[in-house]
Amino acid sequence: MTYMVLECHTSYAVVLDELGNFIKVANLRYEVGQTVDCVVKMQEPASETSDAAKLKSLTFKKFMPFIAAVAACFIFLFTYMFNYATFASVYISINPEVKIDINRKDMVVGLSGVNQDGTDLIEGYSFKKKNLDTVTDELIDLAIAKNYLSNGGKITIELNSSDTQWVISRETSLTEHIDRYLTDKISVTIQLNHQGSSSVENNAIIPVDPDDGDSNYADTDYGENSDGVTDYNGNNTDYGAGNDGITDYTDGTTDYGDDDYIQNGSQSSNTEISDDDGQSNYSENDDGQSDYTENSSPYSNDSDDDASDYE
Amino acid sequence: MHNEHQIVTLVYDAKQDMHKADSLIRSYIPFIRSETSKFTKRICTDQDDEYSIAMIAFHEAIRSYTKDRGAFLSYASLTIRSRLTDYARREARHSGHISIHEENSEDDIPLSEKLVDANDGHEQNANLEATKEEIAELAKVMAQFGVTFTDIAENSPKQNRTMEVCKQVIRYACDNRQLLDVLLETKKLPMAQLVNGTKAERKTLERHRKYILAMLLIQTNGYEIIRGHLRRSLAVKGGGQV
């Protein structure tokens, strides 16, 4: 192999070998244009590559914090997306309308009132670490407590998610859940509202607990025999003993003032009246036993509401 | 300490720039000479091969030095000594021979062929002036492109595969001589045509742009001696005309 000297410097020379490589070599008193047989190559490849590698690793080291930061961001982002990002929204509207944002694991991640009543409803309520079912239940309780929801009320539920599968599965389960939850409380209509599509009515009418106070106003037949004739209109308002045509309201022994009637609790059954003086005059026989139950009078079942009924 | 910092700065500057490195070396010639003398145990003259080796070793030291390697001068001293040791060992293999041509330990060419080569060398040395002119001319043209031989040496493909790709490109350009004319006219590498013509990676070509440029310039008219020197390279590959 011969090398042609192309350029000479104090410390090195550039030579061209026969294969077309330009090489830096030790300048052993070379002259430009000279052809030489052997050269002492500058150990550049090795040192340069190691240099480059070092430089690369240095650069890497330098950027390591940034890379770590970016990675951390991604991890955070994914965690966030999984745990905090809204995967679906549930709109519950009674009259107060609220929007519940949930993540993939059905955990509630956001709660906001859609209208003013909704905002009032959720005021002071914390949804942290609760799942959808719990929040729904508690909100409904709240709505009942704040007199937004009562017997015969209607709950409209709308599920909003990009995942249709989820919407379909949740529609059923959520409705069933609310149904179950309300079974022992009040009777409401639960309506499912599909986004844009036709709505499905899901009626869940549940036996009513008698204290809710508004569903029975229509039935005003407080008279005997439950004959459908409101006895207030006629003169036969003889609730007193013996059905003698004499209204016993004035006899001074009436128990209408009994506190039991005023109580809101559904357990204040009429049979407890006699504990006052044992002389309930409602019944025909005046036997100390209230006949309300036997007569299938509306008092027993429906109209426990003292306030409206007797005063 | 302050002095040390200064030299470190100088070394770091010299890493990028071969000319700065050269001038740095020039100012450290006494140091290099003393290191060489310490190694050879005799007074070092400019004629000693060891001196040149020490110088290139110093150059290598500049290139490979990093701050975490301690003081530069002790690092350079170490590099020089190890390079001189390498050189001495290589020389020792030929200790039985006298001929200067035996220095080359890298190829297995028998002595007879070497002697023929040496004759060729003599012939070429006769043409030394012509060669010199050619190289000077080439250097001038390359200067128009803002390229020196040192740049090309830095830019030379180091991998065989890359070299092969570059050769392919060069052969393609030789087959399509109008590309060479375009190169001389526009002072720009017709990169798009080269990429299209050879299906080579554009990135590879860009990386070795200077090398390809120089090789193409050599293929233009007027560099018969250099081309003659390169004959083997392109002929071996069975490529285009030379």
Instruction: Kindly report the average pLDDT of chain A as a whole number.
Output: 69
Q: Is the ipTM of this structure higher than 0.90?
A: no
If one counts every other C-beta atom within 10 angstroms of the C-beta of residue B65, the result is: 23
Among partner residues A6, A12, A22, which is closest to B156 by beta-carbon distance? Answer: A22
Task: Decide: A110 and A86 in contact? Cβ < 8 Å.
Answer: yes
pLDDT band at B96 (very low <50, low <70, confident <90, very high): low
* Selected residue with higher pLDDT from A254 and B240: A254
Please determine, for residue B50, whether its predicted confidence score (pLDDT) is greater than 50: yes
Cα dihedral sign, B141-B147-B153-B155:
negative
- Residue contact A51–B136, C-beta within 8 A: no
Summarize the confidence of residues A101-127 as an average pLDDT.
Answer: 84
**Is B226 in the A-facing interface, judged by CB distances under 8 Å?**
yes
Quick one: DSSP state of residue A107? B
**Is B104 in the A-facing interface, judged by CB distances under 8 Å?**
yes
For residue A214, with 0-12 CB atoms within 10 Å meaning exposed, 13-18 middle and 19 or more buried, which class applies? exposed
B196-222: per-residue pLDDT in tens? Answer: 888 888 888 888 888 888 888 888 877
Chain B 9-38, residues with CB within 8 Å of chain A CB atoms = 18-19, 21-22, 25-26, 29
Summarize the confidence of residues A102-107 as an average pLDDT.
Answer: 82
* Selected residue with higher pLDDT from A203 and B121: B121
Residue B47 with chain A: CB contacts under 8 Å: 29
Specify the pLDDT at position A213: 43
Summarize the confidence of residues B101-111 as an average pLDDT.
Answer: 54
Q: Tell if the pTM clears 0.80, that is, is over it.
A: no
Please determine, for residue B77, whether its predicted confidence score (pLDDT) is greater than 90: yes
Task: Decide: B198 and B168 in contact? Cβ < 8 Å.
Answer: yes
Residue A9 with chain B: CB contacts under 8 Å: 18-19, 22, 150
* Selected residue with higher pLDDT from A7 and A186: A7
Specify the pLDDT at position A246: 55
Chain A contact probe: residue of B49, B60, B94 with most A CBs at under 10 A: B60
CA distance B230 to B63: 29
